[in-house]
Amino acid sequence: MGKKRFGIAIPTELVNELDTLVKDLNMNRSKLVEQAIKEFLCEFKHHLKPHECVGVMLVFNTASSKSSDIVDEFKDVILAYTHHHIDDRCIEIIVLKGNSEIIAKFHKKLLGNSCRCRFIPFHIVD
C-alpha cells in the first residue's frame, strides 16, 4: 500500500500534545496520526452503511450532564447498560444491537449533549 503526503493545519497546543505523546510512545508522528485516523474512520464509517450492528458505546460525562433521557429514547437497541459514578463524573457502558442508522442517531445525540463518547463496533465495515 502506497503512502500519500498532505498538509494539515491544527492548533499549536494540539501539535505540542501530539509531539509529547510521540516521544513518550517512542513512535513517529505519521504512524500515530495514521492510527488515530484509522480508529476514527472505523468508529464513524460504521454509521454510513445501513446494516445490523453490534457494538459498545462508552460514555463519559459530568454528573450534571443528563444522558438518561437519551438512553431511554434508544432502549430498543440497548442490550445492556451500566452506569457508574467516580467523583463528579459518570461512566456509562452500553452494549448495543440493532439498525446502524438508529445507533448512529444515538451516538450523535450523546455527542450533542456534551458527552464524550466512543462507539466501538464488533465488526469492521468496509
Residue 30 lies in a domain: yes
Instruction: With cut-offs at 50, 70 and 90, classify the pLDDT of residue 112.
Output: confident
**55 and 115 fall within a common domain:** yes
The answer to whether residues 72 and 110 touch, using CB atoms and an 8 Å cutoff, is no
Amino acid at residue number 26: N
Say if residue 98's pLDDT is above 80. Answer: yes
**38 and 65 fall within a common domain:** no
**71 and 97 fall within a common domain:** yes
Residue 71 lies in a domain: yes
Q: Can you give the CATH number for the domain in which 98 is found?
A: 3.30.70.1150
Q: How many domains does the chain have?
A: 2
Going by the DSSP 8-state scheme, the letter that residue 73 receives in this structure is H
**Residue range of the domain that includes 81:** 50-121
Which of 53, 69, 67 has its CA nearest to residue 115? 67
For every residue of 84-120, DSSP letters joined together read: EEETTEEEEEEEEEEEHHHHHHHHHHHHHTT-EEEEE
**Mean per-residue pLDDT, 17-44:** 89
**36 and 55 fall within a common domain:** no
Residue 83 lies in a domain: yes
| pLDDT of 56 | 96
Distance CA 75, CA 44 (A): 21
**21 and 83 fall within a common domain:** no
**117 and 56 fall within a common domain:** yes
**Mean per-residue pLDDT, 90-118:** 91
**Mean per-residue pLDDT, 16-32:** 92
**39 and 57 fall within a common domain:** no
| pLDDT of 65 | 64
**Residue 15 dihedral angles phi and psi, to the nearest 5°:** -60, -45
Residue 92 lies in a domain: yes
Task: Give the model confidence (pLDDT) of 38-91 as tens digits.
Answer: 888 877 777 778 889 899 999 998 766 677 888 999 999 999 999 998 888 889
Instruction: With cut-offs at 50, 70 and 90, classify the pLDDT of residue 94.
Output: very high
**61 and 107 fall within a common domain:** yes
* Dihedral-angle region of residue 122 (phi above 0 means left; psi in -120 to 50 means alpha; beta otherwise): alpha
**63 and 106 fall within a common domain:** yes
| pLDDT of 22 | 93
Question: Dihedral angle at the C-alpha atoms of 110, 18, 3, 36, nearest 10 degrees?
Answer: -20
Instruction: With cut-offs at 50, 70 and 90, classify the pLDDT of residue 126.
Output: low
Q: Which three cell numbers stand for residue 121?
A: 463496533
**75 and 40 fall within a common domain:** no
